[in-house]
């Protein structure tokens, strides 16, 4: 299976949305980031979109509170593998201060490819 790619207009619509959400794909037993909204970047303190994509692809839990990481990771695995809804409350550090985040996600299919949409 290949990494999903939105058409340019739809991708721009997602990236310019002020609502904080992300689209992921479970590919080769790992989560890859397909799209991040402007609202997502603002909520998590990213001013550089390329950095946001890099962090989400390579160190997704970088800023999560250490006490929350195992629980978040476990919920993410169940979400990806068992296709159950994702519903997690956790702490993440933004600009040096922890924020409480409530993340919810559901799977959707786009052109026959299963994607995960998570809103924060």
Residue 30's φ and ψ, nearest 5 degrees, are -145, 160
Residue 83's φ and ψ, nearest 5 degrees, are 60, 30
Task: In whole angstroms, give the CA distance from residue 100 to residue 91.
Answer: 5
Nearest to 80 by CA among 53, 60, 50: 60
88 to 12, 65, 70, 85, 105: CA distances (angstroms): 27, 13, 12, 10, 9
Q: What is the pLDDT of residues 60-73, one digit of tens each?
A: 999 999 999 999 99
pLDDT for position 82: 86
Q: What is the pLDDT of residues 43-100, one digit of tens each?
A: 999 999 999 999 999 999 999 999 999 999 999 999 988 878 999 999 999 999 999 9
């Amino acid at each position: 299976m290949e990494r999903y790619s939105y058409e340019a207009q739809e991708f721009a619509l997602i990236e310019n949305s002020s609502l904080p959400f992300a689209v992921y794909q479970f590919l080769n037993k790992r989560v890859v980031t397909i799209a991040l909204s402007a609202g997502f970047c603002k909520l998590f303190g990213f001013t550089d979109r390329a950095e946001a994509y890099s962090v989400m692809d390579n160190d997704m839990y970088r800023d999560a509170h250490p006490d929350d990481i195992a629980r978040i990771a476990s919920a993410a695995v169940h979400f990806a593998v068992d296709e159950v809804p994702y519903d997690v409350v956790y702490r993440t550090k933004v600009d040096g201060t922890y924020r409480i985040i409530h993340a919810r996600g559901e799977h959707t299919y786009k052109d026959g490819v299963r994607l995960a949409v998570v809103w924060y």
